[in-house]
Structure 1
């Protein structure tokens, strides 16, 4: 079992607060997600999250024009400089004040920073002539505003900066000292905060937008008196020129306020986001309304526009929503939203390509692991969803909820096709699905019984009684279909549901059981207890065979309201969720603390410990509190200062006092606590996922080693490999490329081998290289256009080495999952393609292209058409039955019957 897991991605949340930025080519969108930064590739449909973390949530970030340096600043003014290409952290710096915005100049030489009421200008970090890296060198600092600066805008030629402030004014600043007199102007006249100010493309006009919905257009003109005559001199007297208001426009939004604004100078397009979720597009300077749309009921907190002016990016903090909109075609490029509330459970699909999460907001989301995007959202549950579980084939998903229902979801048609309920309304908190998909079981904290339903009929088959306390966890064995249940009565029970006798003997655990996991081979069961122990029992004998003491391994932080130290805390010294690896040699565990622990089961030792979050805005991330903030009334951080804010919407607090969970970070007395609600290993054995307060954390084995030779000797070189390939020694060339482990070389040899030789080469591949070959094909085939070529390789390898692979399943789990993912994706694409082109195919096959010349030919043709029509009628009736679920209406404009759906669901299960 590999233990070199590293953080690889963050799913489940796409935007938290701050500004969002497009890359210069417009293909990538950079979004702050709490104290991390996520990047969404809009062209290749992928996303990744930087590994580094800030100490608090990110307030602002920016990417330079060259796309090489990313600068992010958190709420306390601590900045991290990152190489955007290599994703390496270059430098840490503290600006020692709250930063509202950071902007790189268009020429990339400087960046401006709004810290409080000061405008700071810094030189862009670079390597100087002495080959010394100069991280942060301050160029100039300006003080002129009386309140905090809200936004910054550079002129296109990088000579001037406009800053807007809460003091109802905007100011223009010059970078060059010689032009100081030219740019010493204050733009006053607005009656509310100035949210943004922008230069026109020719820099002749300046546009300022205020919070109350007013747009002022300023132009640089000469003040004329009635007695003045026009100057005919060639030289212009600059002293007679000044910035003046040329026009005033208003959005007329009433009580609705402007939350964010941006301007694209090349197309003269102004984009404005409002507090009611509405956004508008205007063309300046005519102030022509182009479009007016809404992205929900919550405020639009961030807006940006790409370099070409085609895509608009919007962010909403309340729901954690991210939107990329193409305004010309009026279509969405990206529309993602995380869970509104805390995540309760997660599960991997059997092929490891998708992760499903369930949350307190009653929604279930399906996430694609490769791209990081949400594929579907189910919201039929009326209350918190407590657990989700896949059937073995991966086409059906089951979920339990506090609303008293267990639901079955079809992941091919994306709909709910079964609802299971008990005789009385009870809240279900645990769920288990039989590997065959025939039976689903659920437990509750209200009742001490386990409810068993038939998936085919939806009827309640049995109620398993025996526990004397609430059911805390359920799990089915993947091999022998026995059910293990854990309870607060300090016992676990093993049920043989399909056996004749339901008599079971309880296994004493001596402490309340919080979580349970069955070993994949079904021989043992592991439980996590309230005493901080992970105890392992043999299922057949009912005896304890192992015990891991976890108390010393758990990092429990100190909450702000704690009167005791973290060392003396008993609150979180246990795990609430555990999961076995595919080979049963490791257990990953998490709980209401700041640590995820990976244990070696045979030796009962800790392999790795992962820190969930370093975000100081969460409770429980700090082991020691700052003594300077401690008073007799408690920590200063707990004092409610919202009433002192200058804005009405900032003073109003609509949150529930004392709430310990939720996506809203502005809770009044208690902050969200760092915790892990669910962990699970991926079936591919190369990753595991953890549902935490920060989102869905994905940890994977780092495979990004460029040169990793295997069984190498002096004679094996890239040149000799190419020579063997040219000499038609295909098997030798393939083996040598794998021994060098150079991806480009393996790719070249693999694609050069002719079709007639594939069978012979596949038979001769040594078993040592089988895992490498299958892994390569599985990863390569997903992006390759040679579908049939890859399938022929897979067929010949499985035909030649199928018995060996079957006998060594534990070695080939990862490559076979990769092959399965490729075949599943290809099958889906081929099916979709055939469905979309079936009428074209039928037309092309029904016309033979002959020209009718005599009556005999006409008669034969008509007979053939009659026969074809009859066949088409049969085909059409079959297709109507097959496609009824999609929503197509039949000939009588009626939807398909319910029993037709049920029969198809039974086949699916």
Structure 2
């Protein structure tokens, strides 16, 4: 079992707070997610999250025009400079004050910060400039506003800068000292906060937008220009910026929350507090579109460089929207869970993850793309557990609303609902690997309820526990069920023989979580005293014990009167899971650590820190003594009443609420915790449902140099020479010895079709799992479907017996191949359904068309037209290519989160 797992992606949350922005080419969208930054590739349908973390939630981000440097600043003014291409951190810096806005200049040489009521201009770090001791060099500081600055806007030529403030004014600043007199102007006249100011394309007009919905147009004109006679030159001293036009949005009770302007197309986009957003064409103030993204405020808006796509973010529900306004269609529509996630489950092929939340919703996430595919809303209360059937087409879920539901993941619908004889909330769930029966337990009942999936009837009630049932776990190989209860016992049941295999396993502490080893011979239990106990199921004896207390990092809460070292609050694990080979256990709980244990040796292999976000409770081991006062910690003092805005002073939250999606308004800080953990069936990753979202930790095989029998004669040049001499088997083995992906790819595609069977049968068995894994990963991106399928068939036919005897070694490879085959089959079925009526039409046409001498088509005896063999093959290949491409385009667009089930199947 590999232990070199690293953080690879963050799912489950797409936006928290701050500003979203497009990359220079407009194909990538950057979104702050808590104290991290996620990047969504809108063209290739992929996403990734930067590995670096801030100490607090991110307040603003910006990318330089060259697309190489990313600067992100958190709530306290601490900044991190990142190489966007290489995804590496270059420098940490502290601006020592809250930053409300951040903008790079269009030429990329400077960047401006809004720090309180001061405007700071800094030089962009660059290797081409004079080498400085400090990467950040401050260029200039401007003071003039009487309240905090809200937004900044650069002119296209990087000579001027406009700042808007809460003092109801906007100011224009000059970067060059020689032009200071030309740009010493204050734009006054608004009756509310100025939310944004923008230059026109020719920089002859300036537009200012206020919070109360007023849009002013300013022009640099003379005072009495209308009174001048023809040919008379105006006095330059009379020139100044003046209001030439006033317009109003008339949005009733809604206030302007954000605004942006695309100068080249003269499109103004405005977001309001009621969730509405509008598009206006300036300078005529023509309303183009008026839409809404919900009932919550639009916190940020951004437009890409071409002006085609608009991005909106709403922090209340964590919504992220990319909208193409010309075609009136959504490019991206994503929303995370409103409440914390309770449970997760991997699909059998490892390509998807299902999360269940306190908000009663179940979401299906694609691991590769990072997008939510579908959301199920039928549950009326918190969902407590989810689990896949072995084939991956059925999903089971239990809820506190007293139901257990079965979901069809082909049609995306709920087709079975199970209830007990009396209405009791279910808190744990286990499904038989065959998908025939499903079991659920409750804290209100001492019995385990068993239903038949086929008939929907309650077929059995397993009695024996003397306390509420807390955990259930099925073996993936046989129908052995393990159950844990508050009576401090674990019972082993044989479902189909309706009996207990062994006597109840007695423990000395409460059981918090159990996990069955995949082969069904051992069960692991996490207890309240911080231990993981291992039991042999066949003889009912304890075979191992792992003491976890010293491995757990339990942070100190702000309201604690004791140190983290003396805290017993979270010195235990609430969720554990076995790896596919049964050699490792991953464990997590209400603390800031995820621990990976080696089962045979009972030792800690690796410990992962869940989050370093100091905005969460339990992430700090020591408190900052400078913030301690006689009234307690400064962070615990509610200062909402001191806010200048009325909507910020109003607090509608419940006192003491520890759950919810809006982290900024809760009086009690959310606690860092891990509610569920599970290994991927591919054994190369595991997922953790935490307060920050769904964390994915994986092993990156592409960066590992792991050669087989490497000697001096094996070089890339030798591989190419062997390939040139058509020694395909030798070239393929040497490429695997070097473990260079580009060499393996080149040799793999160079093998002729007629030699695939010979090469597959002659390749040594040690390389078969690596070749299958390579084909499974390569085929997901390749267009050569038949070529890859021929390779897979030849390998399985030649080495089928070896694969069957070493299935643990081939687990990851076979699941990668299975994922590819399932994708191809779905696309073929979808293409056939989409073109079914076109096929009926073409085959039902009669032969009434007169054929010409040059026409290769020949009329048969029935009068139907038949093409020649060559033309028929060409026509079919062209049509299939078009069908599959069309289907892929529809599948790749992550638009199907809240659509109807019929649309999601296409």
TM-score for both structures, normalised by structure 1 = 0.93
Q: Which residue of 1 aligns with 2:101?
A: 101
Q: Is the 8 A contact 1:128 1:134 kept in 2?
A: no
Q: Is the 8 A contact 1:365 1:377 kept in 2?
A: yes
Aligned-partner Cα distance in 1 for 2:230–2:789? 82
Say if 1:42 and 1:227 are closer, same or farther in 2 by CA, change over 3 A.
closer
How far off is 1:129 after superposition? 5.5
Say if 1:859 and 1:535 are closer, same or farther in 2 by CA, change over 3 A.
closer
Deviates more, 1:152-161 or 1:463-472: 463-472
Q: Which residue of 2 aligns with 1:42?
A: 42
Aligned-partner Cα distance in 2 for 1:395–1:347? 13
- How many residue pairs end up in the alignment? 861
Q: Which residue of 1 aligns with 2:746?
A: 748
Please state if 1:255 is matched with 2:253: yes
Listed one character per residue, the Cα deviations across residues 231-255 of structure 1 (whole Å, up to 9, x for unaligned) are: 646xx75322100000000001122
Listed one character per residue, the Cα deviations across residues 317-359 of structure 1 (whole Å, up to 9, x for unaligned) are: 0000000000000000000000000100000000000000000
How far off is 1:702 after superposition? 2.2
- 1:467-506 equivalences in 2 (<5 Å): 467-502=465-500, 505-506=503-504
Q: Is the 8 A contact 1:343 1:358 kept in 2?
A: yes
Secondary structure at the aligned position of 2:641 is classed as: helix
Q: Which residue of 1 aligns with 2:427?
A: 429
Secondary structure at the aligned position of 1:783 is classed as: coil
Q: Which residue of 2 aligns with 1:394?
A: 392
Aligned-partner Cα distance in 2 for 1:463–1:6? 43
Q: Which residue of 2 aligns with 1:608?
A: 606
Say if 1:438 and 1:285 are closer, same or farther in 2 by CA, change over 3 A.
same
Q: Which residue of 2 aligns with 1:785?
A: 783
Q: Is the 8 A contact 1:656 1:667 kept in 2?
A: no
Please state if 1:710 is matched with 2:745: no
Listed one character per residue, the Cα deviations across residues 144-166 of structure 1 (whole Å, up to 9, x for unaligned) are: 00000000000000000000000
How far off is 1:388 after superposition? 0.3
Secondary structure at the aligned position of 2:756 is classed as: helix
- 1:211-610 equivalences in 2 (<5 Å): 211-224=211-224, 232=232, 237-502=235-500, 505-610=503-608
Say if 1:500 and 1:300 are closer, same or farther in 2 by CA, change over 3 A.
closer
Q: Which residue of 2 aligns with 1:55?
A: 55
Say if 1:709 and 1:733 are closer, same or farther in 2 by CA, change over 3 A.
same
Q: Which residue of 2 aligns with 1:656?
A: 654
Q: Is the 8 A contact 2:77 2:97 kept in 1?
A: yes
Aligned-partner Cα distance in 2 for 1:237–1:552? 81
Aligned-partner Cα distance in 2 for 1:57–1:773? 43
Say if 1:227 and 1:555 are closer, same or farther in 2 by CA, change over 3 A.
closer
Q: Is the 8 A contact 2:5 2:698 kept in 1?
A: yes
Please state if 1:149 is matched with 2:129: no
Listed one character per residue, the Cα deviations across residues 156-214 of structure 1 (whole Å, up to 9, x for unaligned) are: 00000000000000000000000000000000000000000000000000000000000
Say if 1:746 and 1:667 are closer, same or farther in 2 by CA, change over 3 A.
same
Q: Is the 8 A contact 1:852 1:858 kept in 2?
A: no
Q: Is the 8 A contact 2:272 2:297 kept in 1?
A: yes
TM-score for both structures, normalised by structure 2 = 0.93
Q: Which residue of 2 aligns with 1:19?
A: 19
How far off is 1:730 after superposition? 1.4
Q: Which residue of 1 aligns with 2:65?
A: 65
**Greater length-normalized contact order (CA 8 Å, ≥ 6 residues apart):** 2
Aligned-partner Cα distance in 2 for 1:669–1:316? 20
Q: Which residue of 2 aligns with 1:893?
A: none
How far off is 1:397 after superposition? 0.2
Aligned-partner Cα distance in 2 for 1:302–1:699? 30
Secondary structure at the aligned position of 2:523 is classed as: strand
Aligned-partner Cα distance in 2 for 1:677–1:358? 11
Q: Is the 8 A contact 2:166 2:194 kept in 1?
A: yes
Aligned-partner Cα distance in 2 for 1:187–1:98? 25
Say if 1:238 and 1:712 are closer, same or farther in 2 by CA, change over 3 A.
farther
Q: Which residue of 1 aligns with 2:684?
A: 686
Secondary structure at the aligned position of 2:182 is classed as: coil
Aligned-partner Cα distance in 1 for 2:860–2:329? 51
Aligned-partner Cα distance in 2 for 1:145–1:231? 40
Q: Which residue of 1 aligns with 2:770?
A: 772
Q: Is the 8 A contact 1:578 1:589 kept in 2?
A: yes
Q: Is the 8 A contact 2:492 2:502 kept in 1?
A: yes
Q: Is the 8 A contact 2:684 2:699 kept in 1?
A: yes
Aligned-partner Cα distance in 2 for 1:546–1:369? 34
Q: Is the 8 A contact 2:389 2:431 kept in 1?
A: yes
Aligned-partner Cα distance in 1 for 2:775–2:251? 58
Aligned-partner Cα distance in 2 for 1:452–1:649? 51
Aligned-partner Cα distance in 1 for 2:53–2:226? 63
Q: Is the 8 A contact 2:847 2:864 kept in 1?
A: no
Secondary structure at the aligned position of 2:720 is classed as: helix
Unaligned runs of 5+ in 2: 852-857, 866-900, 902-906
Deviates more, 1:713-722 or 1:242-251: 713-722
Listed one character per residue, the Cα deviations across residues 582-633 of structure 1 (whole Å, up to 9, x for unaligned) are: 0100000000000000000011010000000000010000111112222343
Secondary structure at the aligned position of 2:54 is classed as: coil
How far off is 1:718 after superposition? 2.1
Listed one character per residue, the Cα deviations across residues 115-155 of structure 1 (whole Å, up to 9, x for unaligned) are: 00000000001114666675100000000000000000000
Q: Which residue of 2 aligns with 1:897?
A: none
How far off is 1:863 after superposition? 12
Secondary structure at the aligned position of 1:15 is classed as: coil
Deviates more, 1:120-129 or 1:190-199: 120-129
Q: Which residue of 2 aligns with 1:869?
A: none
Aligned-partner Cα distance in 2 for 1:858–1:211? 74
Q: Is the 8 A contact 2:393 2:410 kept in 1?
A: yes
